Amino acid sequence: MKNVFYILLILVTTFAHAQTRKSDFFRLYKGGNTYLKPIKYVLFDSTASYAEKKIIQDVIYFNIKGEQFVYKKNHKVDTCSVDLLQKIKLDNPADLNQNAFLYFKNKKEEIEKKSNHKILILFPVAGFNNYFKVYVLEKIKNDKLLKYLVDWEYSTF
């Protein structure tokens, strides 16, 4: 009975820690609290003139509406049904930079209200890419989607 309890305890802690990674969190300033990144979904349409996909060695580059997303082999890719599109909200890649700025601004104001004083955080001129966890969805045959966990690297600031 004691062994079953220990095995169960190990399994529960393993699953609890396996769900989120360190890269799923961000800090607004050095030494501050960590916050979970909101998830954003972007649809890649290979037939559209504003979307381009390049594969260079083991890296896939998605250029969608002026934004560049990079899939590297160490990230995960998942196959899912097209029905997922009805369950999630797709974001416009052209609006991601503005949405990230607004998210940053709201989070900063929330921290200032909680601490009851102004925090000197300089608004970054660039670098809003770190505030969202982005998935690129690509349609493939048989009503399936490939869901790439990507790094949002380039923005048309």
What are the pLDDT digits (tens) for 96-122? 888 888 888 888 888 888 877 776 555
Task: Give the count of alpha carbons within 13 A of 60, CB side only.
Answer: 18
Domain span at 54: 22-154
In this structure, is residue 129 part of a structural domain? yes
When divided into structural domains, the chain yields a total of 1
In this structure, is residue 10 part of a structural domain? no
In tens, the pLDDT along 75-100 reads: 778 889 888 889 999 999 988 888 88
In this structure, is residue 5 part of a structural domain? no
In this structure, is residue 44 part of a structural domain? yes
Token pair listed for 149: 């966990």
Question: At 54, phi and psi to the nearest 5?
Answer: -125, 140
Q: Are the CB atoms for 35 and 104 separated by under 8 Å?
A: no
Which residues is 132 bridged to in the sheet? none
Q: Are strands 67-71 and 59-64 parallel, antiparallel or unpaired?
A: antiparallel
What mean pLDDT do residues 121-136 have?
A: 72
**Separation CA 145–CA 80 (nearest Å):** 5
pTM over the 0.85 mark: no
**Separation CA 71–CA 103 (nearest Å):** 24
In this structure, is residue 16 part of a structural domain? no
| pLDDT-derived band at 127, boundaries 50, 70, 90 | low
In this structure, is residue 4 part of a structural domain? no
